[in-house]
């Protein structure tokens, strides 16, 4: 059991096989739960799938961003809005200008180093790819962000930058789980 309050960073540590990843995957609805309750903002919620988690404001950043976090063949812009595309539709018509504005905002906000939002995400460094995934969940306005090995596969400078981003998100009221 644990409680996570607004703006807190909760670190979960343990050896391989200790159940860290399984715990957060169950919280996110990616794996079945044996027992327990999930409360968000004082309300009991039922999360049986990742769709339920996203609807309840939970974002999940996998340790394997290339297979589970990004669509490598798409550009930065499309990767940013993919979890939130419904917000940019007007009677089935894509509001392209708003997508570009939101993408530019998050590229600036997280200092994503890319020639443009039209640049293929596969051509970015690992740290900048990770920032694209973080931006997606910020754009979705997730209240709880689960980072699974958030600095895996990125260089030392990018690791430092990622930890600064995590602290910044917590300071802005996001609740963070780090494993």
Distances (CA, A) of 72 to 37, 56, 128, 138: 35, 27, 13, 19
pLDDT digits (tens, 9 = 90+) for 29-83: 999 998 999 999 889 999 999 999 999 999 999 888 888 889 999 999 999 998 8
Q: Are strands 43-45 and 93-94 parallel, antiparallel or unpaired?
A: unpaired
Question: Which band of pLDDT confidence, cut at 50, 70 and 90, is reported for residue 154?
Answer: confident
Is the pTM for the entire model greater than 0.85? yes
pLDDT digits (tens, 9 = 90+) for 76-103: 999 999 888 888 888 888 888 999 999 9
């Amino acid at each position: 059991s644990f409680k996570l309050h607004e703006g807190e960073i909760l670190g979960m540590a343990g050896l391989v096989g200790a159940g860290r990843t399984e715990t957060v995957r169950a919280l996110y609805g990616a794996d079945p739960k044996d027992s327990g309750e999930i409360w968000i903002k004082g309300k009991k919620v039922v999360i049986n799938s990742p769709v339920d988690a996203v609807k309840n404001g939970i974002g999940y950043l996998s340790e394997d961003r290339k297979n589970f976090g990004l669509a490598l063949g798409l550009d930065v812009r499309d990767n940013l809005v993919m979890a939130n595309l419904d917000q940019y539709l007007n009677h089935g018509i894509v509001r392209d200008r708003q997508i570009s504005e939101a993408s530019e905002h998050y590229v600036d906000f997280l200092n994503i180093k890319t020639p443009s939002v039209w640049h293929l995400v596969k051509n970015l460094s690992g740290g900048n790819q990770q920032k694209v995934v973080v931006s997606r969940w910020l754009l979705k306005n997730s209240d709880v962000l689960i980072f699974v090995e958030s600095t895996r596969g990125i260089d030392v400078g990018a690791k430092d930058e990622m930890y600064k981003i995590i602290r910044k998100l917590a300071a802005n009221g996001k609740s963070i789980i780090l494993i």
